[in-house]
Amino acid sequence: MSTPAPKGTGSITPADGATYARIMGVGGYRPERVVMNSEIIEAIDSSDEWIQERSGIKSRRFAAKDESVVDMSEHATREALTAAGLEASDVDAVVVATVTHPYQTPAAAPILADRFGIRGAAFDISAACAGYCHAISLASDMVRGGSARHVLVVGVEKLSDFTDPTDRGSAFIFGDGAGAAIVGPSDTPAIGPTVWGSDGSQWKTISQRDSWTEVRDGDLGWPAIGMAGQSVFRWAVWGMAPVAQKALDAAGVRAEDLDAFIPHQANMRIIDAMIKQLKLPADIPVARDIAETANTSAASIPLATERMLREGEIPHGALALQIGFGAGLVYAAQVVVLP
């Protein structure tokens, strides 16, 4: 019996990607309403001093009732496009990192894309406070892999919708906001290798209290996000500095060569502990946006980045180490050249 003749050459035309990728522009959006600690403390029998001492947080922003994660993302996107010198029509993929878009489906990304007339790929990722660093990694790989040329990355949260204002362990931590970045092709390496991972055995340490089906079948009330603060604190302090160090090593960058350290804005004490463990030189600027913005999960790193650039704390083109970590538990870190 003769074997059938092949139908063609059998080879697939490879995708045509860029050699390197870079962040071309960033933008941020902070909702108008400033919420001081004094507004939070009564419901949790706390004090401004306790919150500042334990977390470094002085205030946060809360979005308006009718202001959605898509609305906030739209503002941040406009800024990022302007900063990148691009039009919306240049964007061919949209990745939104969020855990507070209140629809199980569809994702926020296609709705955001539609506001700009973008018809390219659009999807959300759920990696909590590490969402932005996950999305930067994906976007870089997409640009280099040839599946997109310009990717809009957004980290956005409306945590005020998913926080129990009477929960002592979390009510003071969270805030709302959006940060955006445009990732596109580059002539030189500008997004280092991502070091990332997970430990799902600890999924309960930061989690929506009950699943949607438990809420449907029980008398449980709104399923706000709960947190085992001390466990998260220990994991972050002891587990994340080695991850940050690995990201430096993978990029071939020494701590003393950095122009900025932009960790997830989880807790000022966690940030201070990481600086110590990484033995960062004292003169390297460190993001401390948490004081006025609190913990905005996926939005925290791009918001902190946007602030440091806008306020001239770091120059454009700065070499920055960024690391996100949170619910999952999951983490991701990389060295980037800022736009």
Cβ at position 237, least distance to ligand COA in Å: 9
Binding piece for ligand COA, criterion CB under 6 A, among 2-10, 17-25, 225-233, 246-254: 225-233
Binding piece for ligand COA, criterion CB under 6 A, among 11-19, 31-39, 43-51, 153-161: 43-51
Task: Determine the distance from the C-alpha atom of residue 116 to the mean position of all C-alpha atoms in its chain, rounded to a whole number.
Answer: 22
| Contact pick of 155, 175, 326, 328 for ligand COA (by CB under 6 A) | 326
Question: Which is nearer to ligand COA, 17 or 169 (by Cβ)?
Answer: 169
| Contact pick of 132, 233, 261, 331 for ligand COA (by CB under 6 A) | 233
Task: Determine the distance from the C-alpha atom of residue 61 to the mean position of all C-alpha atoms in its chain, rounded to a whole number.
Answer: 17
Question: Which is nearer to ligand COA, 21 or 129 (by Cβ)?
Answer: 129
Task: Confirm or reject binding of residue 123 to ligand COA (CB under 6 A).
Answer: no
**In the window 140-159, what residues touch ligand COA (CB under 6 A)?**
none
What are 83's two structure tokens?
């900063």
**In the window 47-86, what residues touch ligand COA (CB under 6 A)?**
50, 54-55
Cis, bond preceding 339 (omega within 30 deg of 0): no
| Contact pick of 133, 191, 227, 284 for ligand COA (by CB under 6 A) | 227
**In the window 257-316, what residues touch ligand COA (CB under 6 A)?**
266-267, 270, 295
Cβ at position 334, least distance to ligand COA in Å: 18
The reply to whether 37 belongs to the active site is no
| Three-state SS annotation for the chain | CCCCCCCCCCCCCCCCCCCEEEEEEEEEECCCEEEEHHHHHHHHCCCHHHHHHHHCCCEEEECCCCCCHHHHHHHHHHHHHHHHCCCHHHCCEEEEECCCCCCCCCCHHHHHHHHCCCCCEEEEECCHHHHHHHHHHHHHHHHHHCCCCCEEEEEEEEHHHHCCCCCCCCCCCECEEEEEEEEEEECCCCECCCEEEECHHHHHHEEECCCHHHHHHCCCCCCCEEECHHHHHHHHHHHHHHHHHHHHHHHCCCHHHCCEEEECCCCHHHHHHHHHHHCCCCCCCECCCHHHHCECHHHHHHHHHHHHHHCCCCCCCCEEEEEEEECCCEEEEEEEECC
Task: Confirm or reject binding of residue 168 to ligand COA (CB under 6 A).
Answer: yes
| Contact pick of 17, 229, 239, 285 for ligand COA (by CB under 6 A) | 229
Other CB atoms within 10 Å distance of the CB of residue 140: 28
The reply to whether 129 belongs to the active site is yes
Question: Which is nearer to ligand COA, 129 or 303 (by Cβ)?
Answer: 129
Question: Which is nearer to ligand COA, 184 or 324 (by Cβ)?
Answer: 324
Question: Which is nearer to ligand COA, 236 or 336 (by Cβ)?
Answer: 236
Binding footprint of ligand COA, residue count (CB under 6 A): 21
Cβ 176 vs Cβ 72: under 8 Å: yes
Task: Confirm or reject binding of residue 44 to ligand COA (CB under 6 A).
Answer: yes
The reply to whether 295 belongs to the active site is yes
Q: Active-site residue among 101, 129, 134, 267?
A: 129
Binding piece for ligand COA, criterion CB under 6 A, among 18-26, 72-80, 83-91, 232-240: 232-240
Residues making contact with ligand COA (CB under 6 A): 44, 46, 50, 54-55, 129, 168-169, 172-173, 227, 229-230, 232-233, 236, 266-267, 270, 295, 326
List residues with catalytic annotation.
129, 264, 295
